[in-house]
Each structure stands twice: as C-alpha cells, then as structure tokens.
Structure 1
Amino acid sequence: MDIVYKSDASITADQFIDILKRSTLDERRPVNNPERIQKMLDHGNVLVTAWDGDKLVGVSRALTDFSFCCYLSDLAVDREYQKKGIGKKLIEVTHNTSGPATSLILLAAPAAALYYPKIGMEQFTDCFIIRRK
C-alpha cells in the first residue's frame, strides 16, 4: 500500500464529509450541514490529505499563523486504514507545513486521547474552551 500525502490538494465538502464518516469524527462534526463543512474547508489554511490511489483515506485540517502556533482542528483516517501510521504522518506533514517554529495544538476526541502520547505528543491539562452556540 503506497499512501501519497498532499499538502496542495483541495477537496470538496462531500469528500470531507465522507472521510469524516469513514473515520470516528462524524459524531463530533456537522456532517449534516454541508454549507458549514464548506466554510470549515474554506477558512482553514493548512489541509493535508492522504490518498490510496484515487481514494481519500485521511485528512488533517489546521489553522496556523506559520510562526508560533498551529491548531490541528481535524484529523480523520478511514477506519480501514487506521493503525498504519497515516495519522502520525498527517500530523508530521501538517506540522512541517506550518513551520518548525510552531507548536502544534489539538483537542483530542475521547476515543483518540490515548493515541497522541503514543506518537510523541505531550499532554497538557491547562486547556480552556468557550463552547460554540
């Protein structure tokens, strides 16, 4: 299996919704609202995709200032392709794209909380959030 990673490919809202549904993120994202999904794609400034041929098998969507921090908002890998290093590589390419001087920050889904320390990420407890309305 040769997975190709792209940081210059755009995807449609339908493609993004599909990969969210094939991962574990669909329950935590507005997959029934294509307009909102499109806005998410339009306003993120780093999008890294993973492809098995012409099949989208993973995506990382982030917001960064390219100098201090990078917020990794979405990391989705098709369930059939998980545990093959795709998520780790998507994070690596995302961080490289945002720049070596940035700190990569994310909020882990409960089902993925144990994954991130295994790939070398440090857990912080001092995180605060204002919930969306």
Structure 2
Amino acid sequence: MEIAVQYAHEKDLDWQEFNDTLIASSLGERRPVDDFERIKAMVENANLIITARINNKLVGVARSVTDWVFCTYLSDLFVDEQYQKLGIGRELIRHTKIASPQAKLILLSAPKAINYYPRIGMTHHTHAYTLDDPNDLV
C-alpha cells in the first residue's frame, strides 16, 4: 500500500505542531523542545521550511536558513519515527534543494543519522567547525 505524502514550502508553520513532530522524531532529544520561546523563534526565523504531511498530519520537516543563491543551511531534518524508512527525509532534502537550486545545501548530521546521508547521495565534508561559546575563541 502506497502512502500519499504531500510536500510543501510552509511559510507559516505552527511552532507547536513543529515541536510535537520534533518530539516524535529521534532529533527531539537534541533540540530545546521544552523551551517554547526558543522553538517558536526557530520556526519564525527560518526562511525555508519544507513539510511532509500525510492526511494533513505533519510527519516531517526540513527547516533551513538560506540566502537562496550561495548556501542553504539545513539546520533541522526530522521525520516522526512512525513514518521513517519511507523516503520522506530524502524527499524533504530534495524539495529543499529544488526551492533553492543555486545554493549549496549544507547540514551538520545528528550522530544517529551520520550513516544516512552518504546512502542517499550526499557528500561528506571534513572541514566543518562549530562554536558554542564566543569565549572559547583564543
């Protein structure tokens, strides 16, 4: 039985729906799901959000920040655990890239997903860096 998934660029995604689906995914453990103001700001400040819905239920999200022409940072990619392994994550990435075709798509993998991205055709890059605290700069 084939499941009909609807993908869309949603400019006004409800932050509570976003958070509920985030919690239902394995990425929820790595995001501030109990800090509602922060979650709300994450949704409101992203300028490219692609959603996956089944029967209008939100089952997956690709949340990005992009300049549309050089780089798109895909900061959150998650699918409700009940709907994983159906190709939804791959399609969310594809729709994100289609929405910003000139820009290079960049993401930092969650530890549980590190083997997923090469399997779907993405290239591993060894030169990524992060900084959590500006006082750590020497």
Q: Give the 5 Å matches for 1:72-83.
A: 72-83=74-85
Report the equivalent of 1:70.
72
CA contact (8 A) 2:24 2:81 kept: yes
* C-alpha distance in 2 between matches for 1:17 and 1:132: 25
Q: What does residue 103 of structure 1 align with?
A: 104
Shift of 1:14: 1.1
Deviations 1:47-92 (A, max 9, x none): 0000001211000100000000000000010111111110000000
Q: How many residues align?
A: 132
Match of 1:93 among 85, 95, 111: 95
Tell me how far 1:132 sits from its aligned partner: 5.2
Q: What's the offset of the Cα at 1:25?
A: 0.9
CA RMSD in angstroms, aligned pairs only: 1.2
Aligned residues with identical type, % of pairs? 45
Secondary structure of the 1:25 match is helix
Question: Where does residue 126 of structure 2 map in the other structure?
Answer: 125
Structure 2: runs of 5+ lacking an equivalent = none
Query: Post-superposition shift, 1:131?
Result: 1.3
State how 1:1-133 maps to structure 2 within 5 Å.
1-8=3-10, 10-98=12-100, 100-131=101-132
The 3-state SS of whatever aligns with 1:57 is strand
TM-score, structure 2 length as denominator?
A: 0.92
